[in-house]
Amino acid sequence: MFHIFEKIAMDETYIIAEISANHGGSIENALELVRQSAKAGADCVKIQTYTADSLTIDCNNQYFRIQGGLWDGCKLYDLYQEAGTPYEWQGRIKEECEKCGVDFLSTPFDNDAVDFLESLGAEAYKIASFELVDIPLIEYAASKGKPMIISTGMGSLEEIQDAIDACQRGGNDQIVLLKCCSEYPAPWEDMHLRNIPDMKQRFRLPIGLSDHSAGSLGAVVGVTLGACVVEKHIKLPDVESADSKFSMEITEFAQMVKDVRNAKLIAKGPDYSLTEGEEASTVFRRSLFAVKDIKAGELLSAENVRSIRPGYGIKPKYLETVVSRKSCIDIKRGEPINEELLGKLKDGFMEDIFLRYAVQEDAEFLFNLVNDCECRGNSFNPQKITWKEHMDWFRGILLSGTQKQYILMDGITPVGQGRLEASGETCRISYSIIPERRGCGYGKALIKLLNNAAVKDFQECNCCFGEVLKENIASQKIFEELGYTAEERDKYFRYHKRIEYCKIDQEFNKKIRGGITIKQ
């Protein structure tokens, strides 16, 4: 089994060690490169299947002599005759790959080479950059129904698409494209590795990198930009060949494999969740602590409460919320101002609470609140809500004639949300309070406000009801204290109450400037 797509599916980098001409004319060198590549961590060893006669003709005119570059002055026929891997070696090389636990891959350069590799049981084919335009060859190799790994050096967008189409015409969609700069060695400024994410978006295929540059930097950058395959030419020390000058020694290759694997780990994301190590470090964050003894009845202030390390208190952003509130208990210096203690503070809260209608800008506030752990745990659907699901729902609410979404405000601070769903003479209540304000009376205040909002916004409504899971004791108490009647169901209580627009009791009215109000 050829493992490239298995690796890609696991979001791992598939690494190909290319022997090319670096056997130096010795099958023992070729077999040693297989062994050393496997030891270095390669997933695959690749060779090339051609003869000088299958690539060119033996001709000595100017068209068949290389001008400039690494092979300046060489005759093509002579170069390919020296660099080729003899066909009689290739079965033995494949056996060594199987013995070492790496995939075997070869680049065929004509149909006869494809047939020969088929006879060996080849499980995939590589198309070289220079053969990207040989559409008949690509069609023939793709017709075998096996993975096609296609280098795209020198290829225009049209030529790359032609090669893809050649595979797909025969029903072969098992395609991986390799970004490649066909210079030997490839200068960094010519590599254009930002083509990798662009190719991924354009062609909707896995994209890798055939790297002819010096060192491992190109491979590392390629992986961080999304390359899922890395191909690198390798060589043994002191073995000279037509390709050795731009190839990587096997010891360097082993380090490159490590670098690529680590780069893949480093580049993971986006993921804003805390790691286990970060979670342990949160105790060293700043949080709110009492820095002086605070007596029961004493106001919390910037003098006796500060943002300091460690992180056992609530977040520093709540400092303004905490100051000017009275403590119902003695708080000793060095005690954290935590959520439990918030329930033992009074005054300063609920000085100016009211409902307003939700608007588009409230989407993020509602999204964060609905995905709060406690909210999800108290919901009939405990699964987290995605942003798309939330926005589809929220747009519907804003346009609905039978549902209203409200935001509970305390002065300028949103502290909760409530929703009414009208059906004839009844309205269903749903609500939640932000974590920092739970246990402080906001839930009861919000349901009172929602009762009056139901009468105001849905004139036929004369009954409100809420459904509360049996595990949600806090909400059960609120509905019961407000005079709702409970009906027990299988997994929840249904609380209902006949309502009318009512005055607020005197104590509560003191805490609500202007009584029950709904602000547009």
Q: What mean pLDDT value characterizes the chain?
A: 91
The mean pLDDT value for 401-412 works out to 90
Residue-by-residue DSSP string for 267-318: T-----SPPHHHHHHGGGS-EEEESS-B-TTPBP-TTTEEEESSSSS--GGG
Q: So what's the pLDDT on residue 346?
A: 66
pLDDT band with cut points at 50, 70 and 90 for residue 79: confident
Q: Model confidence over 11-34: pLDDT tens digits? A: 999 999 999 999 999 999 999 999
Which residues make Cβ contacts (< 8 Å) with residue 338, sequence separation at least 6? 312, 313, 314
pLDDT band with cut points at 50, 70 and 90 for residue 515: very low
Other CB atoms within a 10 A radius of the CB of residue 238 amount to: 8
For the cut 60, the answer to whether the pLDDT of residue 337 exceeds it is yes
Q: So what's the pLDDT on residue 101?
A: 98
**How far apart are the C-alpha atoms of 305 and 439, rounded to whole Å?**
21
Q: So what's the pLDDT on residue 341?
A: 86
For the cut 70, the answer to whether the pLDDT of residue 349 exceeds it is no
The mean pLDDT value for 151-160 works out to 98
Q: Model confidence over 325-334: pLDDT tens digits? A: 888 889 999 9
- Burial of residue 266 (number of CB atoms within 10 Å: 0-12, 13-18, 19+): exposed
Q: So what's the pLDDT on residue 350?
A: 56
The secondary structure of 37-94, three-state, reads HHHHCCCEEEEEECCHHHHCCCCCCHHHECCCCCCCCCEHHHHHHHHCCCHHHHHHHH
For the cut 50, the answer to whether the pLDDT of residue 129 exceeds it is yes
Q: So what's the pLDDT on residue 347?
A: 53
Q: So what's the pLDDT on residue 327?
A: 87
Q: So what's the pLDDT on residue 518?
A: 42
For the cut 80, the answer to whether the pLDDT of residue 139 exceeds it is yes
The mean pLDDT value for 103-124 works out to 98
Q: So what's the pLDDT on residue 510?
A: 36
Q: So what's the pLDDT on residue 339?
A: 85
**How far apart are the C-alpha atoms of 489 and 468, rounded to whole Å?**
10
Q: So what's the pLDDT on residue 505?
A: 40
**How far apart are the C-alpha atoms of 151 and 127, rounded to whole Å?**
6
Tallying the residues shown for the chain, one arrives at 520
Which residues make Cβ contacts (< 8 Å) with residue 186, sequence separation at least 6? 211, 212, 213, 218, 246
pLDDT band with cut points at 50, 70 and 90 for residue 501: low
For the cut 90, the answer to whether the pLDDT of residue 164 exceeds it is yes
Q: Could you tell me which residue, 137 or 411, shows the higher pLDDT?
A: 137
Which residues make Cβ contacts (< 8 Å) with residue 280, sequence separation at least 6? none
Q: So what's the pLDDT on residue 325?
A: 82
Q: So what's the pLDDT on residue 351?
A: 55
Ordered by where they begin, the domains of the chain are 3-267 (3.20.20.70), 277-341 (3.90.1210.10), 353-505 (3.40.630.30)
pLDDT band with cut points at 50, 70 and 90 for residue 520: very low
Q: Report which of 148, 112, 158, 145 is spatially closest to residue 128, judged by C-alpha positions.
A: 148
Distances (CA, A) of 56 to 78, 95, 110: 10, 29, 11
Q: Model confidence over 380-397: pLDDT tens digits? A: 888 999 999 999 999 999
